[in-house]
Copies of this chain bind each other. A is one copy, B any other.
Amino acid sequence: MNSFWQEKTAMIAHLNEVDQVIGKQLTVKQRKMNEILQDLASSGGKRIRPGLCIIGAGFGSKPIESIYPLAAVLEMLHLATLVHDDIIDDATHRRGALTTQQKYGKDYAVYTGDYIFTKCFEILAENYELHHMKELSKAVSRVCVGEIEQFDGRFKSHTSVKKYLKIVGAKTSALLATSLAVGAYEAGCDERFCKKLGKIGLHVGNAFQIIDDILDYTGDEARVGKTLGNDLKQGYYTLPLIYALRKNDSVLNRLLAADVYDDETIKRIIVRVNELGGVRQAQLLAEKYTIKSLKEISSLPTCQSRDDLEWITKRLLVREH
């Protein structure tokens, strides 16, 4: 299945089990909806969130099987936000395939996302104590606020690194951090330890999102599985551009002032941002967060999960999609 975790056979076995849970939970009688949900369930993706949840659980003592529904919920929450994101971005492709809204229309996309959200809370209520519900509902609220904040800031060239990181924290890192922390909590780790993992998760999440944003400026379209320069086209000014803007470069400023970003303009902005060192500088910040994470990870008790957490932290930095 999953080329991201290729070397990690034990993790792949766990994630296959999690995928089984997702497929089963997203089975409904209504024919059309079932088609959409199964399409989504099998659409691939790196399964970072369930992976982090399982890594977190490895620090505790409960049998890992009890974690699968929780890990499934974390991926499903992510899937739901993706489906809704694609409505907003009018994205045509995701993970190399047509988006739900492109294939079935925005109408199905809205309700499919809602259904997955609600199903997540149903699974949590059926399988776990209130703790995860509290943590996850808070994390998802933050995702929504982050997405709105990001949307509200479109085409604003006076954005700052601080504001960018605030949005990244809300829309991405919070859920990654929570994935790691609730996994550990469910497996019986104490709250202090879970908080520590959560903190590491925030740094890993920041590095992850920065790399994701860099890939919009450097990735190979076929590999990344989505259109290059897509963020830019939507008016999302991410870190490479924010750094490049600091140079107050007249070429870049002129390009950004265009009324419409056609393919040619997008291409030129991407080239210019690279020339001005925006991508390189963003890469350095991602590395800084990675180093921070690795330092904290080295203080964790020695075990398979610590190795896995170290591995994924490095893996996320060097990925090309």
Is A151 an interface position by the 8 A CB rule? yes
Q: List which A56-81 residues lie within 8 A (CB) of chain B.
A: 80-81
Taking a contact as CB atoms under 8 Å apart, the answer to whether A108 and B151 are in contact is yes
**CB contact under 8 A between A130 and B125, given known A111-B84, A117-B114, A117-B117:** yes
**Contact with A114, one of B125, B126, B144 (Cβ below 8 angstroms):** B144
Could you say which residues of chain B place their CB within 8 Å of the CB of A29?
145
Q: Is A108 a contact of B148 with CB atoms below 8 Å? A: yes
Residue in A133, A137, A145 with the greatest tally of chain B CB atoms within 10 Å: A137
Write out the residue numbers on chain B whose beta carbons fall within 8 Å of the beta carbon of A147: 111
A33 touches B145 (CB 8 A): yes
Report if A141 contacts B (CB, 8 A): yes
A114 touches B30 (CB 8 A): no
* A97 contacts chain B at the CB level, 8 A cutoff: no
Contact with B along A7-29 (1 / 0, CB 8 A): 00000000000000000000011
B145 touches A28 (CB 8 A): yes
Which residues from chain B contact A287 at a C-beta distance below 8 Å? none
Q: Do residues A151 and B111 form an inter-chain contact, with CB atoms below 8 A? A: yes
CB distance from A135 to the nearest CB of B (A): 9
Q: How far is the CA of A30 from the CA of B152 in the complex (A)?
A: 10
In the bound complex, residues from chain B placing their C-beta under 8 Å from that of A130 are 125, 129-130
Q: Which residues of B contact A84 (CB under 8 A)?
A: 110-111, 114
| Residue A229 CB within 8 A of the other chain | no
Complexed CA–CA distance, A130 and B134 (Å): 11
Most buried by B among A122, A125, A149: A125
Q: Which residues of B contact A30 (CB under 8 A)?
A: 145, 148-149, 152
A133 / chain B contacts, CB cutoff of 8 Å: 121, 124-125, 133
B88, B122, B138, B141: which contacts A110 (Cβ < 8 A)?
B88
In the A-B complex, the 6 residue pairs with the closest CB atoms:
A122-B137, A115-B144, A125-B133, A118-B140, A125-B134, A121-B137
15 pairs of residues in contact across A and B, judged by CB atoms under 8 Å: A28-B145, A29-B145, A81-B114, A84-B114, A87-B106, A88-B111, A107-B151, A111-B151, A112-B148, A114-B114, A118-B140, A122-B137, A122-B141, A125-B137, A126-B134
A-side residues, CB < 8 A to B, are 28-30, 32-33, 80-81, 84, 87-88, 106-108, 110-115, 117-119, 121-122, 124-126, 129-130, 133-134, 137-138, 140-141, 144-145, 147-149, 151-152
Other A-B contacts than A32-B152, A129-B130, 18 sampled, CB-CB below 8 A, are A33-B149, A88-B107, A88-B111, A106-B106, A108-B151, A114-B114, A114-B140, A115-B144, A117-B118, A118-B140, A118-B141, A119-B141, A122-B134, A122-B138, A125-B134, A125-B137, A130-B130, A133-B133
